[in-house]
């Protein structure tokens, strides 16, 4: 797959001719997992190097364990790399008859490390625990921009919330700063971490067993220090500087810090966002912030407008909480999860209780869960339930825009030929080309990237910028085939390939005949099949229709 081209300057008419590169400034959003677009060469290099470390599988010799949950950051943060995941970890503790929470720290709590380098070193939930809870992997996208929001802005937003729904700022320390300095926590399900470097160091030790300069020791299995002495085979701290003086935790911090926010397509104007605001979802899921101007923050992260749809505060979720006390966060409190990227997030909720199904079913379940006893989300859940079906659908469509990449018709986080000609019940760029009076709520708004109300060659130019494959020019006329098709050249079966280039439709085995070999190829590819030769009618499924086509055109190709 070709790497997407960098977007830098204004467009020229020659963009449509092969060999010319369409260039834009700040017009196409980065996709989930991409770096911030404005990184200079040095910062981009740090991002790329950090991503390699984020993907690196630790070994026992390299410091993994002796107890851990996963061997790499990307094992959990994998949708996309750096994003949320479906993996869960277990928290446990003890609640006495008179109340009060004991994290059972002397027995390895409250986090269970579910894996170990050997059976002898394994950790288990101790029998003393009477409360457990799963926690699903959060996203690390745009961590640097979230870190760059000033404490003052987070606190001012808190103070503006209605008293009955006002969140609590979780004030915490950073490993890298003096211990008497407190900051507003913003990472983790309990907002228990305020800086990306602290997050990296904490996760390195507690999730992978990699001791580091801030946490220069390994966790003892269920608190058994003697067992740790037997199991810990590498001297602590295990995270050592590389040839350039950076440690593992510094490298993965760079990657997370320079990740771009997930896209939002269309960027604005959907009726569902008005409904979202009207029923009070925006009280906790604050739509927008502008990052601060702290001189110690990289300039690329300063004064940036972001739309996370989250307030990074703790809220009482009543019976929907996790029962785990962590720092100043009680068992009913959870941090409001930012909604950017929710369109592709599966599962939902802190313990992954809403999974599989459809995006709509997961969202409806999550909204309803806001209405349990004791939850500060009850007013919004009640208001949603009283909406008309039309307004409910509009709100859900809006939430589906949070994380959707521009031009991505089939919602698989890439832009390929499927997104040009349409796939199954999706509307591709070709089907929208020429549309006018396009509103943000129209299906074709996905392709109106400049949001000027029409789908024209300006939008197609942007489509070429983000197209993941090298655009074909099968008739070698110097114009990409997709543009030929938009301008009227024949593509009868709507597969994005010019008819004049298809010497024999259905000749899958390339023997210039439609016969037994092609039927066998169809049987071998039976079922869902994206952009494969056996899918003759281009509907994304190989089935009896393809066999009937071969039988109906049996013999030598014309």
Residue 192: count of CB within 10 angstroms of its CB: 20
Structure tokens given for 291: 């990052």
Task: Provide the pairing of β-strand 541-542 with 527-528.
Answer: antiparallel
For residue 112, give the H/E element and its range.
strand 111-112
CB 144 within 8 A of CB 199: no
pLDDT per residue as tens digits for the range 287-308: 999 999 999 999 999 999 999 9
For range 189-207, the mean pLDDT: 98
pLDDT at position 7 is 37
The highest-confidence range among 402-416, 508-522, 528-542, by mean pLDDT, is 402-416
CB 164 within 8 A of CB 309: no
pLDDT per residue as tens digits for the range 107-129: 999 999 999 999 999 999 999 99
pLDDT at position 539 is 80
- Name the superfamily (CATH) of residues 503-556: Dockerin domain (1.10.1330.10)
Question: Does the pLDDT at position 18 exceed 60?
Answer: no
How many residues does the structure list for the chain? Answer: 558
For range 316-324, the mean pLDDT: 97
Q: What share of the chain is helix, strand, coil (3-state, %, to 5)?
A: 30, 10, 55
Beta-ladder partners of 187:
193
pLDDT at position 213 is 98
pLDDT at position 12 is 39
Question: Does the pLDDT at position 538 exceed 90?
Answer: no
Higher pLDDT, 1 or 201: 201
Strands (E) located in 237-313: 289-290, 305-306
pLDDT at position 558 is 66
Q: Output the DSSP codes for 358-423.
A: -HHHHHHHHHHHTTSTTBTTHHHHHHHHTS-HHHHHHHHHHHTTBTPPTT-TTSSS---HHHHH--
Question: Does the pLDDT at position 378 exceed 60?
Answer: yes
Question: Does the pLDDT at position 186 exceed 90?
Answer: yes
CA dist 8 and 24 (Å) reads: 5
- What is the residue-averaged pLDDT of the chain? 92
Q: What are the φ/ψ torsions at residue 527 (nearest 5 degrees)?
A: 110, -165
Question: Does the pLDDT at position 13 exceed 70?
Answer: no
For range 264-273, the mean pLDDT: 97
**Confidence class for position 510, pLDDT limits 50, 70, 90:** confident
Task: Say if pTM beats, i.e. exceeds, 0.85.
Answer: yes
Structure tokens given for 41: 């060469």
CB 93 within 8 A of CB 324: yes
Q: Give 105's DSSP letter.
A: G
Question: Does the pLDDT at position 333 exceed 80?
Answer: yes
Residue span(s) of the chain under CATH 1.10.1330.10 come to: 503-556
Structure tokens given for 526: 């039976």
pLDDT per residue as tens digits for the range 429-476: 999 999 999 999 999 999 999 999 999 999 999 999 999 999 999 989
Question: Does the pLDDT at position 11 exceed 50?
Answer: no
pLDDT at position 20 is 41
């Amino acid at each position: 797959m070709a790497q997407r081209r960098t977007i830098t300057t204004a467009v020229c008419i020659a963009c449509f001719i092969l060999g010319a590169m369409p260039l834009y400034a700040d017009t196409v959003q980065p996709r989930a997992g991409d770096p911030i677009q404005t990184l200079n060469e040095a910062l981009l290099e740090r991002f790329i190097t950090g991503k390699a470390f984020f993907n690196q599988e630790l070994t026992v010799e390299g410091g993994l364990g002796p107890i851990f949950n996963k061997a790499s950051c990307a094992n959990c943060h994998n949708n996309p790399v750096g994003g949320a995941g479906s993996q869960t970890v277990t928290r446990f503790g003890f609640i006495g008859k008179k109340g009060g929470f004991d994290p059972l720290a002397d027995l390895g709590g409250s986090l269970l490390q579910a894996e170990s380098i050997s059976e002898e070193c394994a950790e288990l939930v101790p029998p003393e625990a009477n409360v457990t809870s799963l926690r699903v992997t959060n996203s690390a996208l745009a961590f640097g921009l979230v870190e760059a929001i000033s404490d003052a802005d987070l606190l001012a937003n808190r103070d503006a919330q209605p008293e009955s729904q006002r969140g609590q700022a979780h004030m915490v320390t950073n490993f890298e700063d003096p211990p008497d300095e407190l900051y507003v926590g913003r990472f983790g399900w309990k907002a228990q971490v305020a800086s990306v470097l602290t997050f990296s160091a904490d996760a390195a030790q507690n999730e992978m067993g990699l001791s580091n300069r801030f946490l220069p020791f390994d966790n003892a299995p269920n608190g058994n220090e003697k067992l740790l002495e037997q199991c810990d085979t590498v001297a602590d701290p295990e995270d050592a500087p590389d040839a350039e003086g950076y440690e593992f935790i510094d490298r993965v911090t760079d990657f997370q810090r320079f990740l771009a926010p997930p896209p939002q397509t269309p960027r604005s104007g959907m009726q569902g966002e008005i409904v979202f605001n009207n029923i009070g979802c925006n009280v906790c899921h604050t739509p927008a912030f502008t990052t601060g101007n702290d001189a110690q923050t990289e300039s690329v992260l300063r004064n940036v407008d972001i739309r996370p749809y989250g307030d990074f505060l703790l809220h009482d979720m009543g019976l929907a909480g996790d029962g785990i006390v962590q720092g100043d966060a009680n068992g009913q409190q959870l941090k409001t999860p930012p909604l950017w990227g929710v369109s592709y997030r599966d599962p939902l909720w802190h313990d992954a209780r809403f999974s599989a199904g459809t995006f709509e079913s997961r969202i409806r379940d999550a909204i309803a869960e806001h209405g349990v006893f004791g939850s500060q989300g009850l007013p919004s859940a009640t208001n949603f339930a009283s909406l008309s079906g039309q307004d409910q659908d509009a709100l859900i469509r809006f939430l589906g825009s949070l994380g959707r990449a521009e031009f991505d018709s089939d919602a698989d986080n890439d832009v390929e030929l499927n997104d040009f000609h349409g796939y199954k019940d999706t509307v591709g760029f070709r089907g929208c080309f020429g549309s006018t009076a396009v509103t943000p709520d129209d299906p074709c708004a996905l392709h109106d990237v400049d949001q000027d109300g029409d789908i024209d060659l300006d939008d197609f130019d942007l489509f070429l910028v983000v197209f993941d494959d090298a655009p074909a020019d099968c008739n070698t006329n110097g114009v990409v085939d997709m543009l030929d098709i938009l301008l009227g050249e024949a593509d009868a079966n709507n597969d994005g390939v010019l008819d004049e280039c298809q010497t024999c439709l259905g000749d899958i085995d390339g023997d210039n005949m439609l016969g037994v070999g092609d039927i066998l190829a169809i049987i071998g590819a039976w079922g869902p099949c994206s952009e494969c030769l056996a899918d003759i009618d281009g509907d994304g499924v190989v089935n009896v229709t393809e066999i009937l086509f071969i039988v109906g055109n049996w013999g030598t190709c014309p």
